[in-house]
Chains A and B, each alone.
Chain A
Amino acid sequence: MSLYETRRKNNAIATGLAWLATAFGLFWLALILGALVYEGARGLSPAVFSQMTPPPGSQGGLSNAIAGSLLMSAIGVAIGTPLGMLAGTYLAEYGRHTKLAMIVRFINDILLSAPSIVIGLFVYEILVHPMGHFSAISGAVALSLLVVPVVLRTTEDMLLLVPGSMREAAAALGAPRALVIGKIAYRAAKAGLITGILLAVARVSGETAPLLFTALNNQFWSANLNAPMASLPVVIFQFALSPYKDWQQLAWTGALLITVAVLSLSIVARTLGAGRRKSR
């Protein structure tokens, strides 16, 4: 076989494998989403949203878990967003080239992918253990620790996209740094900053591990932040591992709800972010 033919053949094999790899990956991911929609949609009914998690063998829904997830995510984002945004602002504006900014950037990137279960253990050690009981507020704090790295990262990235000439123009008008940031940089990067927050919500709303031993679970409706609270992921975890058919069905339905919520949040975030990139 000539060298030319061998090279052609090797190329055909390699590109064929790349096609195959893509087909393989998309096949499994489609299979998972297909099973999720098929199994989850069967259990969808108004009762899912209006009734509380049932004891085994009786009818019920997921209303308390949905409310708990919404509440804890909201508090988590409310705590984590300002912290992440301020720190991101420091990294992009005041301390762009300082040593502190470099270290924080590095540490933040690590926190971004750190195991979420460890964050759960951390919050258990600093909140649950001293308080003596599981509580919704410690669950929210655990989630906020996952929000911070996401918001910090996107805030910094988005502020860096704002052209320096805009800052210089504002400074030339005599605006001090804080005003340049607040009135120029934040406004120019608004869509991007909202993207970051939405991504953080998406990340947090599916997290199970940090809630397992902070907020624990609660079979009943509770708005008490000082008491255990149900959340969708933890209920899914508990119900899926149970031997009861109706609990398992609720777990599938809950999984579908979470996936739809997370996917639509990331699509909205992506559209906002895409608009930003185009206008650059």
Chain B
Amino acid sequence: MTVVEPDRRERNGAMEVTDFALAQKITPAVIVDRPRALGRIALIDRIFHHLTRTAAIIVLIILGGVIVSLFRGALPAIKTFGFGFFTSQAWNPVNDNFGALPAMYGTIVTSIIAMLIAVPVGLGVATFLTELCPHPLRRPIGVAIELLAGIPSIIYGIWGLFVFAPFVQVHVQPALIAGFAGVPVLSNLFAGPPYGIGVLTASFILAIMVLPFIASISRDVFETVPTVLKEAATGIGCTTWEMMRHVVLPYSRVGVVGGVMLALGRALGETMAVTFVIGNAHKVSPSLLAPGTTISATIANEFTEAVGDIYTSALIELGLILFLITFMVLAMARYMLMRLERTSA
């Protein structure tokens, strides 16, 4: 390769100076013309800059596209049912009468019960991992929990259907029904025949599914607490519990709440873990043992079989509602986690 004079002068000794014009494999004729070579590099730089910027903007467009296209798809149902869609319990494909109440109720109730189970347990696991676990076990258990957070939800669903629901039907639900028979409020919550599948079973499987998620996020959040603070607490004689309660939790409160909301967002939108075991009944039932449905389960079960514009449109409106609910929950979660990052940085 012919190298022009100025470059050769720099190449004395063992140190080799990389010439970026050369690294571009630009022909010698162009190297002589340095301004043009630089111009070309600047052009490449500008193109790359715009390319990455466009890609970033496309991500925004995707989100906008999701909202707009769902709204367009839902428009016939919105026009037909109006606000009554949110309060109606009807779900009748034959005469095209639909209401979102049972699905929304099921989505919210299953998610709340799941969080009631998963949040305390998840925080317990996180406490265990950061404070109590013997050191050699800390990494393996932490890794195991993170791996479990990645298992596809259909696995939880199939296990729920074939293993958990039959077990619950025979061993747990009869005991619940008998145990709470005389108690005023609870007897209504645990009433009816033991189907095995139903709202409570679905909630429990949802809880197991989001548990690794909550545990690993809370552990990460707990680990942002400066060791000095914890040592100070131990130094003045706090027990482990008092340190968690009065130092770690207050310090990481925003992050824990953010993590919990993130998990709630997952639970609200979860499809496969729930669809198998919820029972797909379009009614609001006071009993937690009764079959119900959720927004995602309704869409998963009925969308491909939906005939007629209104039916499809009603399902898309359900999807829009789900998206807006999870969007708000997730936005709040991210905002809180961002605030934590800013304070800990």
- Residues on A close to B: CB < 8 A? 7-8, 10-11, 13-15, 17-22, 24-26, 28-29, 31-32, 35-36, 39, 82-87, 89-91, 93-95, 100-101, 103-104, 106-111, 113-119, 121-122, 124-126, 129, 145, 148-149, 152, 173-179, 181-183, 199, 202-203, 205-209, 212-213, 216, 233, 236-237, 240-241, 248, 251-252, 255, 258-259, 262-263, 266-267, 270
A21-B123, A183-B23, A206-B155 known, 13 other contacts, Cβ within 8 Å: A24-B121, A25-B121, A32-B155, A84-B55, A104-B56, A106-B334, A115-B268, A116-B269, A125-B70, A173-B18, A248-B162, A259-B155, A263-B147
- Bound-state CA distance A94–B148 (Å) is 36
Hey, which chain A residues are within 8 Å of B272, CB to CB? Answer: 208-209, 233, 237
How far, in Å, is A37 (CB) from chain B's closest CB? 11
State which of A17, A207, A252 has its C-beta within 8 Å of the C-beta of B124.
A17
- Bound-state CA distance A208–B289 (Å) is 27
How far, in Å, is A8 (CB) from chain B's closest CB? 7
How far, in Å, is B130 (CB) from chain A's closest CB? 10
- Bound-state CA distance A270–B146 (Å) is 10
Interface SS, B side = helix
State which of A113, A124, A145, A206 has its C-beta within 8 Å of the C-beta of B152.
A206
Q: A11-B240, A83-B55, A262-B150 are in contact. Are A35 and B163 (CB under 8 A)?
A: yes
Is A121's CB under 8 angstroms from B20's CB? no
- Bound-state CA distance A174–B20 (Å) is 7
- Bound-state CA distance A17–B302 (Å) is 42
Is A94's CB under 8 angstroms from B271's CB? no
Q: Which of B25-33, B78-86, B177-185, B321-329 contacts A (4 or more CB under 8 A)?
A: B321-329
Q: A263-B147, A270-B143 are in contact. Are A111 and B296 (CB under 8 A)?
A: no
Hey, which chain A residues are within 8 Å of B20, CB to CB? Answer: 173-176, 179
Number of interface residues of B (CB under 8 A): 97
- Bound-state CA distance A122–B57 (Å) is 18
Is B128's CB under 8 angstroms from A19's CB? yes
B233 at the interface (CB under 8 A from A): no
The 9 closest A-B pairs by CB, nearest first: A206-B152, A115-B269, A21-B124, A86-B55, A90-B52, A11-B239, A14-B241, A87-B55, A178-B48
Is B52's CB under 8 angstroms from A94's CB? yes
Is A20's CB under 8 angstroms from B124's CB? yes
How far, in Å, is A199 (CB) from chain B's closest CB? 8
State which of A89, A111, A175 has its C-beta within 8 Å of the C-beta of B63.
A111
How far, in Å, is A271 (CB) from chain B's closest CB? 11
Chain B 286-345 residues near chain A, CB threshold 8 A: 296, 299-300, 303-304, 315-316, 319, 322-323, 326-327, 330-331, 334, 338
Hey, which chain A residues are within 8 Å of B299, CB to CB? Answer: 117, 121
Can you spell out 12 A-B residue pairs with CB atoms less than 8 angstroms apart? A11-B240, A18-B131, A24-B121, A35-B162, A110-B330, A110-B331, A114-B326, A122-B65, A125-B73, A145-B62, A148-B59, A240-B162
Hey, which chain A residues are within 8 Å of B271, CB to CB? Answer: 115-117, 208-209
Q: A86-B52, A116-B271, A255-B154 are in contact. Are A176 and B45 (CB under 8 A)?
A: yes
